[in-house]
A and B are shown apart, each in its own frame.
Chain A
Amino acid sequence: MSGPTSNARDALRRIATAEPARPGGIDAGANGRAADLSAEPAFDAAKRADIQGNIVPGFNKDFQHFLFFAIRDRARARRWVADIADEITTMDEALDFVVEYRARRLAEGVREVPDLTATWVNIAFSHSAIGTLAGARAGVFGEESFRQGLAVRSTYLGDPTSPEHPGHRDRWLVGGPHNEADVLVVVAADRPDHLEEKVAAILTRSGDLELLFEQRAATLPEPLGGHEHFGFKDGISQPGVRGRLPDKGDAPITRRHLETSGADPGDIRPDLFGLPGQVLVWPGQFLLGEPRQQPDDLLAAASPAEGTFPEWAALGSYLVCRRLRQDVDAFWDFAAEAAARAGIDPVHLASLLVGRWPSGAPLMRAATADDRDLAADRYANNHFLFEDPTRPVTLRPIKGYAGDHHPQAAGDVLGTVCPHFAHIRKTNPRDAATEMGKPQDSLARMILRRGIPFGPAIVPDPDESPCRTGEDRGLMFLCYGATIEDQFEFLTRRWANSPLQPNPGGHDPVIGQRDTRGERERYIEVPTADPPVRIAVERDFVIPTGGGYFFAPPISALTTVLGGD
């Protein structure tokens, strides 16, 4: 491939043209049943119809559009909310689609089902908007970060304090002190024309609100589908939500794949994981009013939070939105320089920053080279511990699956394989003890990520324009949780932004920020040498350019507390 070169372009070309994975079996999804789901909360049809579908199971669509509105007239806004309520996609609808899609894939022996499509909509409100719309019925939200809003919390998250910095909140496209959004509407579709249609229809009906900002987003084109703009496969590891569907034979919300019969009674992993490595978390960590994680126990539930949200808000979830611009040139320039100092290949160095190879294969199971077959194996690509050697697990029978024959992860307590600063080790320390104590606590920090890239891909680039790498591109980061401070903010400030936590070794080089009176330099301690090499990270690769703290309410609230005449 000819054309202008740069570290970024060279790296992305390598990633895009790497040998594809060998096709594996289609996941027949043995609808695994856990040993006992009776303790997990029931999500019947009525309940599922009240929960917004992007929370659970998540939209996971290739084309999305984000509409940020301001409310100018309360009465008109309430009518608008009641009107749009019919459009809102429920957990029930989204789950049914996923089940149908999976069944079609199995029946037809394909990975994609192009003729099975859907277009979905979800909605969320700022604290200020809830007060405006609901008036006296709003009640009190105990989550102080939500009440304050993202702009007020910005520097606490490590965002720039200097107004000259492009990531300073005064420069945000939306969500800054002077352009905070009241309403966020998320539209998602399998086809771009369907997305356009739905967005146009919503905008036509939204004349009574002021559109502050809108953002189109899409997964990157193949062969980088599912990757983010630095070139790395994203979203591999998500928590599984506990819960069962009583009207569907008590099927679990998150399928259980580990064999329980004959298992060692002392082995808790069949009760802890859905897919191997997919930790099961009580739904109250994401949905208000549900049983939540007991922070000193891996398996047990704690009673729902009391008195921290209004009654009408049960089954809602806080939505954190951050528009993050990615400086792809800066990332790969750093990777090249640091690789030269550390004496390794730039893609390997970049993989140390992330904790996975660009394909998604974890360093813990592929220490020296990318392994696309491993990356493509959903029963293996997330099955690893960090501290101790990972023991194999026994899976329930899965049609077409030959088994996990990839090398198991050896223990890496010293962080020489996957450094302590690596993004995935920072934000999900797994079995490691952390500054908060035992790994049980880490389950209470987990978030449901629903982000998607925005902006043009650098590769493939038919124009080969040297200016392309400087275009506006990045990640629309979205996550849901039952708290903002103990989950999203905790992960950001206490772990990603700290060189010591959850374990010492440097800042998260991908998303970590530092701003000490305007000084933003971070560092990593690269373990490839003895002693490790400390390398300064002088530039930000990820720059905040907008967002907000929102609340995605139960759907019923849209025609009662928040909407209507």
Chain B
Amino acid sequence: MPLIEKFDTPARLTDAPVEPLADGRTFYERWNDEVAALAQFVGGEPGPGFPEPDGPDGLPVDVGPAVPDGPDPGPPDGRLPGEPPPAMPAPTVPPEQLGAWVDPRVVDGPVVGTRTLSWIGMSRASLMVWNRDDRAEAFRACDNDRVNKQPEYVEWHATRRGSDKKIVKVAFTTESIEYWQLLGETFPDTVVKLYQRHVSPEVRRSDLYFDAGGGFEIYNTRNRWNTCDGIMHLIGESPGNRLVQILGLCQGGTVNATIDNYANAAAGSAHAVDDYTDLDVGAVARAGFDVAPHDPIGLYIEGWDDTGFTKPDGSPVDDYWRVTRGTPETALRLEYEVPEGEGFVVGDIRIGGRPVEYGAQVAEHVHSVIRVDVLGSRP
């Protein structure tokens, strides 16, 4: 019996009604089909992908002030700029030894275990490459350039109030653009209501949709309530915080035949997620295990850690985290906000003795995860 019958929505969300759409399928059936195409399982056909998220002119509506990109991180294989590639390829294991990326709707196990792939939420490239010697600048740049400087598949928005612009809330999301594009296409009223509930009651349908003429409207993933005035789902483009990409990283790991991770010295990216996923799944596949995405498939937020966070009086903070979409085990939206009546706000909190001036400082203590099932026989 297969591991699952169909792909469920992230965190098993039930945002969409169950009534059939114009083509006779339900939203959930369409989601199942789209995920199957995104995941590119062994023997599967590459999917058509989703349409580009931007507006008619290809530009976002408003994503806030841009900051210059960081210094050139160098060639993707980790070499210094200008440095020639290695003379010889790294030793590899035979392809037949590698486990495969498999469809849990087809395979039936045995499941050795569920593996959590977990990485830092704050941009590792900003901390260790672009602004290695200036953490304050790393935090500032990440807060101010969500599209390019929040690449670890979790994005955040810091809400500021008052004349001193102190942070009052930091909201994190790992919700995929693909889910919201489908929801935006099929149930606009639901989209508006969700924005009004989670971002602002001031949200209007016209804020979220382009009029494409002829009675058609297109959901704008980079509307103001998902960029400069709030956050609802992922939009990042550096390299691209999309479900298709994280699933592609998992799939790519299963064809990484390098004999071990030290031999894979040319591992590709300054970002934590890319190499963590590629190398960890690769190690599992090289050990001969097949790998399947764990249902419900999605990126989640986990491991938020407020150790060393203190109130203005120096005492440890209370629990100011709220999972507002998903579940504690499959958190899609996490908000950090001090309840009214405490007499202070997030910007008054100190982390390890340092005042919170940027949402990125909180992002450093949040992790983004995706889970995979490991199939085979335990050694």
- Residue ranges of A at the interface with B (Cβ–Cβ < 8 Å): 142, 144-145, 148, 152-153, 155-158, 161, 264-269, 272, 294-300, 305-308, 385, 387-389, 391, 410-411, 413-414, 416, 431-441, 444, 485-486, 493-494, 497-501, 503-504, 514-518, 530-532
Asked whether any CB of chain A lies closer than 8 Å to the CB of B210, the reply is no
* B265 adjacent to A299 (CB under 8 Å): yes
* Of the residues B260, B280, B307, contact of A385 by C-beta under 8 Å: B260
Identify 15 new A-B residue pairs, CB closer than 8 A, beyond the known A266-B88, A308-B133, A385-B260. Answer: A155-B316, A158-B307, A158-B308, A161-B316, A266-B263, A272-B262, A296-B267, A297-B80, A388-B287, A414-B374, A433-B277, A437-B124, A438-B279, A444-B128, A493-B308
Q: Contact at A436–B367, with CB atoms within 8 Å?
A: no
Instruction: Flag if A387 contacts B260 (CB, 8 Å).
Output: yes
B119 at the interface (CB under 8 A from A): yes
- Do A391 and B259 have beta carbons less than 8 Å apart? yes
Docked complex Cα distance between A529 and B112 (Å): 12
B261–A268 touching, CB < 8 Å: no
Nearest residue (CB) in A for B116 is A504
Task: Identify 13 residue pairs between A and B in the complex whose beta-carbon atoms are under 8 Å apart, listed by A's number.
Answer: A264-B88, A266-B90, A267-B263, A294-B78, A294-B80, A296-B74, A389-B260, A414-B379, A431-B262, A435-B276, A438-B279, A486-B128, A493-B307
- Closest 9 A/B residue pairs (Cβ): A156-B308, A156-B352, A388-B260, A433-B279, A266-B88, A438-B275, A437-B275, A387-B283, A437-B272
Instruction: Pick out which of these stretches binds chain A: B12-20, B27-35, B164-172, B298-306.
Output: B298-306
CB distance from B366 to the nearest CB of A (A): 11
Q: Are the C-beta atoms of A438 and B88 separated by less than 8 Å?
A: no
User: Chain A residues near B118 (CB, 8 Å)?
Assistant: 435, 500-501, 504
Q: How far apart are A447's CB and chain B's nearest CB, in angstroms?
A: 17
Residues of B within 8 A of A498 (CB): 303, 305
Given known contacts A152-B353, A156-B353, A501-B303, A414 and B259 CB-to-CB distance under 8 angstroms: no
Question: If A296-B78, A435-B367, A437-B271 touch, does A388 touch B286 (CB 8 Å cutoff)?
Answer: yes
Which B residues between 43 and 92 are near A, CB-CB below 8 angstroms? 73-74, 78-80, 83, 86-91
Please determine whether A416 and B261 come into contact, CB atoms closer than 8 angstroms.
no
Interface residues of B in 210-264 (CB under 8 A from A): 259-263
Instruction: List the B side residues contacting A486 at CB < 8 Å.
Output: 128
Q: Which of A269, A300, A436 interacts with B262 by CB under 8 Å?
A: A269
Which chain A residue lies CB-closest to B352? A156
How many residues on chain B are close to A (CB under 8 Å)? 69
B310 within 8 A of A: yes
Name the residue among B116, B128, B274 with the largest chain A CB count within 10 angstroms.
B128
Contact: A297 with B263, CB < 8 Å? no
In the complex, chain B residues whose CB is within 8 Å of the CB of A499? 303
In the complex, the answer to whether A155 meets B307 with C-beta atoms within 8 Å is yes
Provide the bound-state CA to CA distance between A424 and B305, in Å. 23
Picked from A264, A297, A501, the residue with its CB within 8 Å of the CB of B265 is A297
* Contact of A531 with B113 in the complex, beta carbons under 8 Å: yes
CA distance A265 to B265 in the complex (A): 13
Residues of B contacting A441 with CB < 8 Å?
124, 128
- In contact, A431 and B73 (Cβ under 8 angstroms): no
Q: How far is the CA of A434 from the CA of B118 in the complex (A)?
A: 8
- Nearest CB in chain A to that of B376: its residue: A414
Whole-angstrom distance between the alpha carbons of A518 and B310 in the complex?
13
* Residue from the set B261, B267, B271, B286 with the largest chain A CB neighbour count within 10 Å: B261
Which one, A272, A300, A411, A485, contacts B83 given CB within 8 A? Answer: A300
Contacts of B280 in A (CB 8 A): 432-433, 503
Contact A500 B302 (CB under 8 A): yes
B197: min CB distance to chain A, Å: 29
Which of A148, A268, A435, A518 meets B263, CB within 8 Å?
Answer: A268
Given the known A-B contacts A414-B374, A414-B378, are A155 and B310 also in contact in the complex, defined by CB atoms under 8 Å?
yes
Contact of A142 among B87, B120, B133 (CB under 8 A): B133
| In the complex, chain B residues 124-140 whose Cβ is within 8 Å of any chain A Cβ | 124, 128-129, 132-133, 135
Residue of A nearest to B379 (CB): A416
| Minimal Cβ-Cβ distance residue in B for A294 | B80
Q: Is B351 an interface residue (CB 8 A)?
A: yes
A416-B378, A504-B118 are contacts. A411–B283 as well, Cβ < 8 Å? yes
- From A444, which residue of chain B is reached at the shortest CB distance? B128
Bound Cα distance from A153 to B87, whole angstroms: 46
Contacts of A308 in B (CB 8 A): 133
Residue pair B354, A435 in contact (C-beta under 8 Å)? no
Asked whether, in the complex, the Cβ of B261 is within 8 Å of the Cβ of A518, the reply is no
CB-nearest residue of chain B relative to A162?
Answer: B316
A341 CA to B113 CA, complexed, in Å: 21
Most buried by A among B287, B289, B315: B287
Q: Is the CB of A300 within 8 A of B379?
A: no
Which A residues lie within 8 Å of B267 (CB)? 296, 437-438, 440
**What CA separation (Å) do A530 and B113 show in the bound complex?**
9
Looking at the complex, which one of B119, B129, B317 makes contact with A296 (CB distance below 8 Å)? B129
A296 B73 Cβ-Cβ under 8 A: yes
Contact (Cβ within 8 A) A436 B353: no
A500: chain B residues within 8 A (beta carbon): 116, 118, 302-303, 367
Chain B residues in 8 Å Cβ range of A153: 308, 352-353
- Cα distance A431–B133 when bound, in Å? 26
Docked Cα-Cα span, A493 to B309, in Å, equals: 13
